[in-house]
Chain A
Amino acid sequence: MKKIVGYAIPIIFLAAFVWIMNSGDYYKQPRGSTDDFELYLHQLYTSTEKTQWQQAEAAYKNLTRAWEEIEPRIQFSVEQDELHAINIGLVRLKGYLQAGDQKDTLVELHEIRWHWKHLNE
């Protein structure tokens, strides 16, 4: 029994570490109705394409709120630089939306989506 516990404890620890270090993809998924990052990204993209700036503003607010919920969950398993890139992208996006700049908004959205997809790679 003592021997089994002696082996089990380190195995449990190592398994937990593997989980923590690879949990990014799992924790990126929405846990509730307010943290669906991909959905809000898509809404923002569609609104921008149609130059519906009011809807785009609302989608942007939802997007940043979702990101604020997700970021603490995934911070242990992803690159800090990737998180930083998304944060910077969101700030830039705000400016482009205020200016009603469709081209730069779409470019920024594509970049954010790329960082989002490659967060746990």
Chain B
Amino acid sequence: MNEGLVVLVRSLVAFISLFIFARFLGKQQLSQLTFFDYVLGITIGSIAASLSVDLSSRAWPHWVGLVTWTVAVFILQWASHKYLILDKYFNDEPTVVIANGKIMENEMKKARYTISDLLEQLREKGVFNLNEVAYAIAETDGKLSVLKKPEHLPASRQDLNLTIPELGISTELIIDGVIIKDNLYNRNLDEKWLDQKLKEQGLASASQVFFMSIDDAGTLYVDRYEDHVQKPWGGEKGK
């Protein structure tokens, strides 16, 4: 028996199966995962690892386990999407931990969310003074959403009665020295125009450019390979 070969074949089976099942389960972002989703992911990964290298048992039972867990997660996802009540039951609800500037101790206790967690997550949001907070909500994925009191919110353009032209979405023209021709043509521009702009920037060709984009206002962003930036700690010039 060639153990290396068996592990190779079983690893390929595990890898491709996991890939297919992950695609089947959809595009939920890692940042949106609840604690339970996270545990499910670890369990499925652990079963796949056993399928790959645990030669003391057949591959089949491990694979059946993998399929069972995937189907269970799929059913959970499907039911959560279909029925709001089940979604609340499975994924829990966000917890209001600060309401009208007051800390909701009882709600925090129910969610086993400590004051240290709250202060840490507020600091991560740039809030160092509880007096600034009107509402804070602990989301199901463990993140904290914060609404500051009106007097602590930054002034918006509307508050200042300012009209600033929209920059719009920028379009990449050069990435890693390569001209993205489709984007150029979509903007009704051509390579002649690009050469002209490169010359204006003192560049001989696109190969000297790491990244170049243009926004709706026609403003260019150009980053060269040669940055010539002095490092703040006085080291060599950056490249």
A-side interface residues toward B, CB under 8 Å?
Answer: 10, 13-14, 17-18, 20-22, 71-72, 75-81, 83-84, 120
Kindly specify which of B1-9, B124-132, B168-176, B205-213 makes contact with the partner chain: B1-9
- The answer to whether B9 touches A20 (Cβ under 8 A) is yes
- The answer to whether B6 touches A80 (Cβ under 8 A) is yes
Query: Which residues of A sit under 8 angstroms from B57, Cβ to Cβ?
Result: 79
Instruction: Name the distance in Å between B16's Cβ and chain A's nearest Cβ.
Output: 6
Compute how far the CA of A113 lies from the CA of B17 in the bound complex, rounded to whole angstroms.
Answer: 34
- Interface residues in B, total, Cβ within 8 A: 20
- The answer to whether B1 touches A21 (Cβ under 8 A) is no
Query: Which residues of A sit under 8 angstroms from B59, Cβ to Cβ?
Result: 20-21, 76-77
Compute how far the CA of A79 lies from the CA of B1 in the bound complex, rounded to whole angstroms.
Answer: 11
Compute how far the CA of A79 lies from the CA of B59 in the bound complex, rounded to whole angstroms.
Answer: 8
Compute how far the CA of A77 lies from the CA of B55 in the bound complex, rounded to whole angstroms.
Answer: 10
Instruction: Name the distance in Å between B6's Cβ and chain A's nearest Cβ.
Output: 5
Partner of B56, one of A17, A20, A72, A81: A81
Q: Tell me whether A76 and B10 are in contact in the complex, defined as CB-CB below 8 angstroms, given that A81-B56, A83-B1 are known contacts.
A: yes
- The answer to whether B1 touches A77 (Cβ under 8 A) is no
Q: Is B20 an interface residue (CB 8 A)?
A: yes
- The answer to whether A71 touches B1 (Cβ under 8 A) is yes
Compute how far the CA of A71 lies from the CA of B6 in the bound complex, rounded to whole angstroms.
Answer: 12
B5, B56, B59: which has the most chain A beta carbons within 10 Å? B59
Compute how far the CA of A17 lies from the CA of B16 in the bound complex, rounded to whole angstroms.
Answer: 10
Q: Is B111 an interface residue (CB 8 A)?
A: no
- The answer to whether A21 touches B58 (Cβ under 8 A) is yes
Ordered by A's residue number, 25 sampled pairs between the chains whose C-beta atoms are within 8 Å are A10-B20, A13-B17, A13-B20, A14-B17, A17-B17, A17-B63, A21-B13, A21-B58, A21-B59, A21-B63, A22-B60, A72-B2, A75-B1, A75-B2, A76-B6, A76-B9, A76-B10, A77-B58, A77-B59, A77-B60, A79-B55, A79-B57, A79-B58, A80-B3, A81-B56
Query: Which residues of B sit under 8 angstroms from A18, Cβ to Cβ?
Result: 63
Q: Is the interface of B mostly helix, strand, loop or mixed?
A: helix
Compute how far the CA of A77 lies from the CA of B51 in the bound complex, rounded to whole angstroms.
Answer: 11
- The answer to whether B1 touches A80 (Cβ under 8 A) is yes
Query: Which residues of A sit under 8 angstroms from B9, Cβ to Cβ?
Result: 20, 76
Query: Which residues of A sit under 8 angstroms from B1, Cβ to Cβ?
Result: 71-72, 75, 80, 83-84
Compute how far the CA of A43 lies from the CA of B172 in the bound complex, rounded to whole angstroms.
Answer: 77
Compute how far the CA of A13 lies from the CA of B59 in the bound complex, rounded to whole angstroms.
Answer: 15
- The answer to whether A75 touches B20 (Cβ under 8 A) is no
Query: Which residues of B sit under 8 angstroms from A75, Cβ to Cβ?
Result: 1-2, 5-6
Closest 8 CB pairs of A and B: A80-B55, A21-B60, A10-B20, A21-B59, A17-B13, A75-B1, A76-B9, A83-B1
